[in-house]
Amino acid sequence: MRLTLGAPFFRLLTLFGLTLLLSQSIHEVAQKPPANIRFFQMALFTYEGHGTNWQSTDGYVDISMFGDHGSAQPPGHSIMSFDSWFEDEPLALAAIDDWSRILAVVIDEPYVTRLQTDYNDDEEANPCQGSTAEQQARRSRLRAIRTKLLRSVKLVHDVAPRTRVWVNFHQREVRWMRAGDCERLNDPSFDVVSLDHYEVNFSAIADEYAWFVWTMPQQQLALVPGTHYRIDGDSPSEAAARLQGYFDYANTMNRQCNIGVGRAVSTGNYDGCRVWIVAGWSSVPAFPLPPDPPRYYGILHSSSASIATAWLDQFLKMQAHIF
């Protein structure tokens, strides 16, 4: 790990009346960081294809995200939402000019989504368990999904060996895996994994992340806190209050980035760090789109000001760049 603080950091320390002795090592700074430093990078899930509902996340993120269905690749480094992974020709519509600037592609809830979309399946039951004909059919469907998922992962690795593949699991998918019969839903070829589970404090899902680390110690983690509130769910202030637990975990885990480089070897972006990124869901101001009434209001909606404030309080801290 090389941690770079740079001249702006020292000017910031002076501004806040703090003194950093020249004899103090970078390691000591990492162990006892000043309150105005963060040890992780930040992003927001965004969906550029939502027309007038889409807004830029500039000023909220270190890394932009964009979709793979013809959305233009943003300048600088970015993350691509790999929504076409299940299609016969993945990446056929992806407007990627330069793969070296794509830090990762993210595949969202692959098994739950495909079971619902392709197989009209919305059951909570573990598809890896049971011996009835229907249960066996669901298991066969799951295997077919996994085959296409691994095919798409290999495609990205072949096209862009230094681009991470990040799989964001639904809480049901993790529950199925932890039951003991669905471990293969995760795979060592996934560079980064994360969990979709909202309206809980991070302490309630810390065990899920510990399980990820225990089963696949070389995988990096992404944290996906809720940067939204929901009708009949969390209020904006409740959602905002939950963010700090995610930030604290990322700061703690990344003070020593010593898990070793992964499959992509040295990429120059948080190599060896347990938490690769903290990415909030979502930036979309209101969802679903008309004519359906909105149920979710993202960080960029005017009524989500308390969420935006909590996010920006962390984002505006000096980022300790970890290579």
Query: How many Cβ atoms are within 10 Å of 217's Cβ, its own excluded?
Result: 10
Residue 31 lies in a domain: no
pLDDT of residue 101: 96
The number of distinct structural domains making up the chain is: 1
How far CA 159 is from CA of 67, 88, 98, 100, in Å, comes to 18, 17, 11, 10
Q: Which residues contact 302 (CB under 8 A, 6 or more apart)?
A: none
Residue 10 lies in a domain: no
Residue 32's pLDDT band (boundaries 50, 70, 90)?
Answer: low
pLDDT single digits (tens) 251-293: 999 999 999 988 888 899 999 999 999 999 999 999 887 788 8
Residue 224 CA to residue 27 CA, distance in Å, equals: 28
pLDDT of residue 134: 85
pLDDT of residue 24: 37
Pairing mode of beta strands 164-170, 37-38: unpaired
Residue 149 lies in a domain: yes
pLDDT above 90 covers what percent of the chain?
A: 66
Residue 18 lies in a domain: no
Residue 9 lies in a domain: no
Q: Give yes or no for residue 323 having a pLDDT over 90.
A: no
Residue 227 lies in a domain: yes
Judged on CB neighbours under 10 Å (0-12, 13-18, 19+), 244 is middle
pLDDT single digits (tens) 96-129: 999 999 999 999 999 999 998 888 888 888 888 8
Q: Which residue segment(s) compose the domain that 192 sits in?
A: 40-322
Residue 257 lies in a domain: yes
Assign residue 273 the CATH number of its domain. Answer: 3.20.20
Residue 28 lies in a domain: no
The phi, psi pair for 52, rounded to 5°, reads: -70, -15
pLDDT single digits (tens) 176-226: 999 977 878 999 999 999 999 999 999 999 999 999 999 999 999 999 999
